[in-house]
Amino acid sequence: MNRTTLRRSAAALALGLAAATAPAAIGASTASAAPYCGITWGSLAKSSSSMKVTSLTRVRAGQHDCYDRLVIDSRGPATGFDVRYVSQVTSDGSGLPVAVAGGARLQVVDRAGRTTSVPAMPNVSGYRTFRQVKWAGSFEGQSTVGLGVRARLPFRVFTINDAATGTSRLVIDVAHRW
């Protein structure tokens, strides 16, 4: 074999090895970049400005495989909301700070959740992501709940209307991890 043939053979071998390992490298990077449980929510504020007169009736929480869930039940159609991470949850009306346990805090404002009595807050001891749910007040047609979470994690917010019962729900899901 002469030098030219030897160089061409070496180059062909190197190109063949690169082509053979490329799919494995691409597959590995794609798998590691896949979102946790398919969650692509993000951690920026979520809001809806609609307002309707309803009555907040209950606050409850639940655990799922990929996230913890907070639900605010109301009598009447779903209304507006504003849910965002804050450095300090503040009380409706007074603006005073409300201490909420956790590495991060979500301020959950239900824009039509007026109430004449403070609803019971769910006990979230043992939850993977939630640390505390705390009432922060009701004033001028809106109610606020402080939600302490383990860390600033992705969350989603949506409403559900049940026309058959005349009730609605404001739902906040916070992922267990990114």
pLDDT of residue 32: 53
Q: 40 in a domain, yes or no?
A: no
Q: 68 in a domain, yes or no?
A: yes
Tell me the CATH number at 68: 2.60.40.3500
Q: 170 in a domain, yes or no?
A: yes
Shared domain check, 53 and 25: no
pLDDT, one tens digit per residue, over 98-148 is: 999 999 999 999 987 667 788 999 999 999 999 999 999 988 888 999 999
* Amino acid identity, position 83: V
pLDDT of residue 152: 98
Shared domain check, 112 and 156: yes
Shared domain check, 119 and 86: yes
Shared domain check, 52 and 124: yes
Whether this prediction's pTM lies above 0.85 is answered by no
The percent of residues in the chain predicted with pLDDT above 90, rounded, is 61
Whole-number average pLDDT of the chain:
84
Residues 74-86 have a mean pLDDT of 92
pLDDT of residue 111: 86
2 vs 145, more confident: 145
Other CB atoms within a 10 A radius of the CB of residue 63 amount to 14
Shared domain check, 82 and 23: no
pLDDT surpassing 50 at residue 83: yes
Q: 41 in a domain, yes or no?
A: no
pLDDT of residue 77: 86
Shared domain check, 94 and 22: no
Domain count, the chain: 2
Q: 116 in a domain, yes or no?
A: yes
Q: 8 in a domain, yes or no?
A: yes
Q: 39 in a domain, yes or no?
A: no
CA dihedral of residues 100, 102, 104, 108 (deg, nearest 10):
-40
- Full residue range of the structural domain in which residue 13 is found: 3-34
Q: 50 in a domain, yes or no?
A: yes
Rounded Cα distance, 82 and 46, in Å: 6
